[in-house]
A and B are shown apart, each in its own frame.
Chain A
Amino acid sequence: MRYCLHFFVSPRLLPALLLLSLTTASGQTPPITITLDPSPSGVRAGLKFDFNATVANTTNKAVKWLVNDVEGGNLTLGTISTLGLYQAPAKVYTTRVAIKVKSVADPTKFVSRGIDIWNPIAKITDVAPDDINQGHRTEIIVKGSLFVAGAKIYADRLPLSTTFVSDTELRTSLDTSAAPTTRLKVLVRNPEPESADSNYQEMLVLPPVVVTASPKTVNVRLSAKQDFNARVDNSRNRAVIWYVNGIKSGNATIGTIDEAGLYTAPAVLPAPTVEIKAVSAHDSTKSDTATVTLLHAIPVITTAPPSLKTGPNSFTIAGTGFAKTATVEFNGQPIPAVWVNSNRITLSGLIKPSLGGYGTLRVLNPAPGPANSAFFPIPVNPSKAVMTVEAASRFLEQASWGPTPESLNHLLEVGREAWLAEQFATPPSTYPDPLDTGQSLNGMQKRFFLNALTGPDQLRQRIAFALGQIFVVSGVELSQYWQMVSLQREFLAQAFGNYRSVMQSVTLSPTMGDYLDMVNNDKPNPAKGYVPNENYARETLQLFTLGLSNLSPAGARLPGTPYTEEDVKQLALAFTGWTYPPEPGFASRWTNRRYYIGPMVAFQDHHDTTNKMLLGKLLPGGRSAQADLDQALDVIFQHSNVGPFVALRLIQKLTTSNPSAAYITRVTDSFNASPRGDLKRVITAILLDPEAGTGPGGTLSSSQGHLREPVLFATTLVRALDAAVGPEPGLAPYTEWMGQRLFYSPSVFNYYSPLYRLPSSGVPAPEFQILNPTTALARINFVNSAAGNQLGGGIDIPVEHFEALAATPSVLVDAVSRALMRGTMKADMKAEITKAISVTDNPRWRVRIALYLTATQSRFQVQQ
């Protein structure tokens, strides 16, 4: 078994072994003989061979073993043990050695046998790679043992040019044309002597490598990252090497790509596209490309000034992704911008007052891949402020049709007195001439709102509107434009004049003459049983000048009445004899046809010329209609009731429904001062009074303020929201639903009485007379339309400005508070609105709800 385990005997050795055995058996006594067997022709390096020596004819059987006469051999010759086990050298040092066995008993007796030392048979443990792509020259490493210099690697019996690296490693390269799926047998053949094949290992032939990069085409924004994948087929080596525009890993100008295929676009646009290439690590001839279309980044503003002042400004914004060709908008309007780098832009331009006290900045990157930054809100403040926002807002609510961002900014900068002076010097808004007698009042309503929403003569219009609600005429009876327009112009023209002049103009107005029957009022006709019409006489006393009770300068009711039924009759007599002005081209006669341009004209024949007593004063008989009228109005005007009467009404219209006695007294005093009835002085006294709450030290009691009547409610909301207004704003239908059909007072008693008090508390609150659930719903629904910019009628509310702020509820609510609540929205209200808008992310709905909930609130419905 040893033999089998330790020796390898070539078949060629067998005859020699046999011969040795025969010779030994034939000898007879003597000489000592030694036989050596077997007799191999060679032994492979590194292997062992067990020799047997038989000594005959002596009892001393001991032998010595030598290799090339060296006892025991050595490492290059091979060693042999005392028992004859030959260990061939590890490699072939010499191709033949002699094994000699010598008798110890007789050293002359020996046997020598020459044997070849053969190369070993190589052994393969690994062939790498174990697959190979067709047509691709592949470096192959064969590992194993017993490789001998000159060994050759064979692939399917084809010798390959082999590099001997060591006795454990060989290398070669192979470019096979074998068909895919073929399994190439790889083995190693050591060279002669006795060259022989090693074991083999199989190497699978694969199709050529295919690289597929994805995505093939993609848009990538500057500085953004894009992941690329490369699929490598037909190789276990999936690795690829990435290139950008042919540069491995790219660079900052064209973008970089990491080993995993993550591409990072450059910060600045180098060219419209770059090429990404994935090259197979296994076969560098195999690759695939993808095309990146570079787009500008989505710009992001991260830093801007904490606030801006109105007027010229230069400032810098910082952020990311600013394109070289980026433009910048402030509140939707371009502002000159200088690009510094993709993180910095400097801006300079005129900053206008902003809706809600917030401006919004936005960077707009152009093509390729145009993109805008999110809106960046910045508080905008006046360049200087001589009063608080709260006081200025309140003042403009009292003295104009409501503050706009522009008007608020202006007042803050100039202050109340200068503002009043400007207003007193501003000429009236206009109403166009009537086109024909069939024209309705619709156009007049639209013109009214156009003037109110956009006209510069804000205070004048407010006063004219107030006068029109004292000296009431109504479209219910005078429904044509030409019937009404002159008196409206008159109110505007005389708003800063004298109350006595207003009385005169109204009394002689054909509009009022028609409405309250002063026109064509004839002197008594006893024969026919007619007496003069009392209508205008009564209402001018009751509603335009004196009222029903005697009044103190503080407006308190005193005992007694300012006039009697007899005064009404006497005044009616004094007012007789007037008819319409003659139409151009027609002779004037008693009575003229309806005509409304110019004052009424008198016909003395139809004027009562008796003595008349009015308010205790004699109007002597025999005088002209004009003289009687002038004196009658003088007598009325001089009555002590007129001051407090007018004071209360104008205070109510401008500042508060419920002025204190002291407030009324102060305004009455200004009315009574010389020249009596100076409206400019009265208006100034009303608006600058401490109780108006707009000056230093002003105070407001808990019962002050007034409900915004529908017309004022509508204009205040529309102006506060900085609406763009077309030429014919259609607000009239809304105010009609809210209980105030403009120019259509239900009667001469106006839409509501200046003496109306709240039923629950008795507090004076005239406008509340037309607030009821129906009109309250109309107000709520008006707000709903405005908040959604759905008013129509040529009114465009820039809700997108608020939408730009909607991402941050606190900013949005603050802007709404500044726009509608003078920036004084209470915490409870803010919390409630924030809660409501937080149910949605949609900016449109957030804005809509925030505006709706604010403007429907009593704190907005009521001006205090």
Chain B
Amino acid sequence: MKKNRIAFPQSRREFLLKSGRLISTIGAAATLAPFGTVNALAQGGDDYKAIVCIFNFGGNDANNMIVPMGANYAAYQKIRGSLALPEASLLSTPTAKGGAYGLHGSLAPIHPLYASKKLAFVANVGMLVRPLTRDQYRTGAVPAPNNLFSHSDQQQQWQNASPLTPASTGWAGRVADRVQGLNSPSNFPPAVAISGNSLQLIGQETRPTTIGGDNFGIAGNDRTVISDARQAGLQEMLKFDSGVVLFQAANRILSDAVAVSKLVEDATRGASALTTAFPSTGLGQQLAQVAKIIQVRQALGMKRQIFFVSQGGFDTHSAQLGMHAALMTELSQAMLAFYNATAEMGIADKVVTFTESEFNRTFQPNGNIGSDHAWGTHTLVLGGGVLGGDMYGSFPTHALQGPSDSGDRGNWIPTTSLDQYGATMAQWFGVNPLDLGLVFPNLTNFTQKTVGFLPGT
């Protein structure tokens, strides 16, 4: 940070002019802080925020992630049949209003964080164009998202928040577009996926990167005359413009790879390992990688970062119970380790981790002790700053062909839209409330813009 002292306030001003509006929570500190104070902030209570999306690919059976207990358990048990979890196996998570709910037993690692109010649930979230009733859906009176129940389409819609038309940018990328000035003059991408590409992170200007595991770097760069010449040639040739679209696209990504690997290599040189241990699972290792990048945020010059990690295998059409339990174990162990790592770094209250999944699964099981593609789902939100220990949104009515069911197998019509869910994160992260509609075009169709599980929303 020291080398950026002089450039920092100047670029900050540029950012404020460019964006036109002050971002209330950070603008004051930025403009008023003397240089030394900025640095002190960076050392301790630094101006830093990160949001981390865990995408459960395949359609998480959230019906078994958060289960009604007590009086409402019977309806659950009756319809869920072969998929019903025993009530005794559930981990009690009463809501502030006194609702009786319980977590899947395999979420035991994060269960205590509910009591300590770091963990919250959001009930029945999903893709919506605008609020919708069963009748409106069945008659088509109110538009519903395209291609509900299709994995690929719903995965895209959860990421681009565009349920009716294809969109090439994602909502988190559009969030990054609006806060990236805070990261100036860092060249490091504000949005980072750990495994694979993520539509969610692509912005109008934000070009996300993907930083995988230990193989992230250029082999054979040993700083000899020969390797320097090779590297220079590589970089030089990536600038060639043949006018061929796919060459240009590949050059862009290859150039990013070369540039980002250099930044990461420089920033992580000499960094000491976190003491928090991460599980050796796929998700555990992805979140470990996120923690490593957050750890060197100051060396990278980053104040706002968005991460995307994923967990697959949720498409449990058959033999679901065991598989789903294993997935819940992997999820909760990884979330706990990551939370502990943010605590170790002293920034637990500056990092929010949340889940997404393209859809819930049919409440009614199929003949293979599995479930099929459905709609509205439940999500988890975890972080030191989360207003946890409570459920947000409204829980669906567990009745086939009931008011919550879009069809006849318990395909819940969402009551909280992805837009509202994401806008809550975006506002906390620093997006001006007046800009939220630019990030979530359909937010205008909802009276309540945010869900309230984060302070200031």
Residues of chain A having any CB pair with chain B under 8 Å: 476-477, 516-517, 520-525, 528-535, 538, 542, 548, 561, 565, 568, 657, 702-707, 737, 739, 746-749, 753, 755, 757-763, 765, 768-778, 780-781, 784-785, 788, 826, 828-829, 832-833, 835-837, 839-840, 842, 845, 849, 852-853, 856-859, 861-862, 864
Q: Which residue of B lies closest to A781 (CB)?
A: B219
- The interface residues of chain A lying within 8 Å CB-to-CB of B254 are 776, 780, 856, 858, 861
- The interface residues of chain A lying within 8 Å CB-to-CB of B218 are 777, 780-781, 784
In whole angstroms, what is the CA distance A172 to B428 when docked?
Answer: 124
Contact pattern, B 255-290, Cβ under 8 Å of A = 1, otherwise 0: 011101100000000000000000000000000000
- The interface residues of chain B lying within 8 Å CB-to-CB of A517 are 317-318, 366, 368, 370
Which of B146, B166, B196, B250 has the most A CB atoms < 10 Å from its CB? B250
Q: Could you tell me which residues of chain B, from 223 to 239, have a CB within 8 Å of some CB in chain A? A: 225-226, 229-230, 232-234, 236-238
Extra A-B contacts (14), CB below 8 Å, given A529-B365, A748-B151, A772-B196: A477-B313, A524-B367, A529-B81, A531-B367, A534-B372, A535-B318, A538-B372, A702-B244, A757-B166, A773-B260, A775-B212, A781-B215, A826-B242, A837-B229
- The interface residues of chain B lying within 8 Å CB-to-CB of A516 are 317
Q: Could you tell me which residues of chain B, from 197 to 211, have a CB within 8 Å of some CB in chain A? A: 197, 199, 202, 209-211
Q: Could you tell me which residues of chain B, from 373 to 431, have a CB within 8 Å of some CB in chain A? A: 373, 407, 409
- The interface residues of chain A lying within 8 Å CB-to-CB of B236 are 832
Q: Which residue of A lies closest to B407 (CB)?
A: A565
In whole angstroms, what is the CA distance A190 to B146 when docked?
Answer: 141
- The minimal Cβ–Cβ distance linking B249 to chain A, given in whole angstroms, is 5
Say yes or no: B368 contacts A763, CB within 8 Å.
no
Say yes or no: A707 contacts B370, CB within 8 Å.
no
B247, CB-defined interface residue at 8 Å? yes
Say yes or no: B234 contacts A529, CB within 8 Å.
no
In whole angstroms, what is the CA distance A755 to B367 when docked?
Answer: 32
Say yes or no: B244 contacts A864, CB within 8 Å.
yes
Say yes or no: A776 contacts B153, CB within 8 Å.
no
In whole angstroms, what is the CA distance A828 to B233 when docked?
Answer: 11
In whole angstroms, what is the CA distance A561 to B153 when docked?
Answer: 14
- The interface residues of chain A lying within 8 Å CB-to-CB of B370 are 517, 533, 535
Say yes or no: B257 contacts A773, CB within 8 Å.
yes
B446, CB-defined interface residue at 8 Å? no
Q: A773-B256, A853-B234 are in contact. Are A657 and B246 (CB under 8 A)?
A: yes
In whole angstroms, what is the CA distance A776 to B261 when docked?
Answer: 11
Q: Which residue of A lies closest to B364 (CB)?
A: A529
Q: Which residue of A lies closest to B242 (CB)?
A: A859
Say yes or no: B226 contacts A839, CB within 8 Å.
yes
Which of A759, A768, A773, A839 has the most B CB atoms < 10 Å from its CB? A773
In whole angstroms, what is the CA distance A538 to B362 when docked?
Answer: 14
Partner of A476, one of B147, B219, B257, B312: B312
Say yes or no: B168 contacts A765, CB within 8 Å.
no
Say yes or no: A533 contacts B243, CB within 8 Å.
no
- The minimal Cβ–Cβ distance linking B448 to chain A, given in whole angstroms, is 30
Partner of A832, one of B202, B237, B312: B237
Q: Which residue of A lies closest to B408 (CB)?
A: A531
Q: A777-B216, A858-B247 are in contact. Are A521 and B230 (CB under 8 A)?
A: no
In whole angstroms, what is the CA distance A530 to B82 when docked?
Answer: 9
B343, CB-defined interface residue at 8 Å? no
- The interface residues of chain B lying within 8 Å CB-to-CB of A703 are 244-246
Q: A529-B81, A533-B318, A747-B58 are in contact. Are A768 and B249 (CB under 8 A)?
A: yes
B66, CB-defined interface residue at 8 Å? no
Say yes or no: B366 contacts A534, CB within 8 Å.
yes
In whole angstroms, what is the CA distance A657 to B150 when docked?
Answer: 23
Q: Which residue of B lies closest to A520 (CB)?
A: B368
In whole angstroms, what is the CA distance A746 to B282 when docked?
Answer: 13
Say yes or no: A747 contacts B151, CB within 8 Å.
yes
Q: A548-B150, A857-B237 are in contact. Are A777 and B257 (CB under 8 A)?
A: yes
Q: A777-B216, A845-B226 are in contact. Are A759 and B168 (CB under 8 A)?
A: yes
In whole angstroms, what is the CA distance A561 to B372 when docked?
Answer: 20
- The minimal Cβ–Cβ distance linking B224 to chain A, given in whole angstroms, is 9
Say yes or no: A528 contacts B81, CB within 8 Å.
yes
B152, CB-defined interface residue at 8 Å? yes
B220, CB-defined interface residue at 8 Å? yes
Would you mind naming 6 contact pairs between A and B with Cβ atoms under 8 Å apart? A521-B366, A529-B364, A703-B244, A763-B246, A832-B237, A837-B229
Q: Which residue of A lies closest to B248 (CB)?
A: A858
- The interface residues of chain B lying within 8 Å CB-to-CB of A832 are 233, 236-237
- The interface residues of chain B lying within 8 Å CB-to-CB of A524 are 367
- The interface residues of chain B lying within 8 Å CB-to-CB of A837 are 229
B443, CB-defined interface residue at 8 Å? no
Which of B166, B215, B216, B230 has the most A CB atoms < 10 Å from its CB? B230
- The minimal Cβ–Cβ distance linking A699 to chain B, given in whole angstroms, is 13
Q: A776-B257, A829-B237 are in contact. Are A534 and B246 (CB under 8 A)?
A: no
B73, CB-defined interface residue at 8 Å? no
Q: Which residue of A lies closest to B199 (CB)?
A: A759
- The minimal Cβ–Cβ distance linking A238 to chain B, given in whole angstroms, is 50
- The minimal Cβ–Cβ distance linking B176 to chain A, given in whole angstroms, is 14
- The minimal Cβ–Cβ distance linking B60 to chain A, given in whole angstroms, is 14
Say yes or no: A747 contacts B57, CB within 8 Å.
yes
- The minimal Cβ–Cβ distance linking A525 to chain B, given in whole angstroms, is 7
- The interface residues of chain A lying within 8 Å CB-to-CB of B407 are 565
- The interface residues of chain B lying within 8 Å CB-to-CB of A749 are 151-152
Q: Which residue of B lies closest to A543 (CB)?
A: B152
In whole angstroms, what is the CA distance A225 to B399 when docked?
Answer: 104
Say yes or no: A785 contacts B219, CB within 8 Å.
yes
Say yes or no: A531 contacts B366, CB within 8 Å.
yes
Q: Could you tell me which residues of chain B, from 178 to 205, have a CB within 8 Å of some CB in chain A? A: 193, 196-197, 199, 202
In whole angstroms, what is the CA distance A529 to B218 when docked?
Answer: 56
- The minimal Cβ–Cβ distance linking A531 to chain B, given in whole angstroms, is 6
B252, CB-defined interface residue at 8 Å? yes
- The interface residues of chain A lying within 8 Å CB-to-CB of B247 are 858-859, 862, 864
Q: Which residue of A lies closest to B365 (CB)?
A: A530
- The interface residues of chain A lying within 8 Å CB-to-CB of B366 are 517, 521, 530-534
Q: Which residue of A lies closest to B233 (CB)?
A: A836
In whole angstroms, what is the CA distance A842 to B409 when docked?
Answer: 71
Q: Which residue of B lies closest to A829 (CB)?
A: B237
In whole angstroms, what is the CA distance A777 to B256 when docked?
Answer: 10
- The minimal Cβ–Cβ distance linking A691 to chain B, given in whole angstroms, is 15
Q: A737-B215, A774-B216, A777-B215 are in contact. Are A533 and B246 (CB under 8 A)?
A: no
Q: Could you tell me which residues of chain B, from 301 to 343, have a CB within 8 Å of some CB in chain A? A: 312-313, 315, 317-318
- The interface residues of chain A lying within 8 Å CB-to-CB of B364 are 529, 531
B40, CB-defined interface residue at 8 Å? no
Partner of A702, one of B58, B245, B258, B372: B245
- The interface residues of chain B lying within 8 Å CB-to-CB of A561 are 147
- The interface residues of chain A lying within 8 Å CB-to-CB of B146 are 548
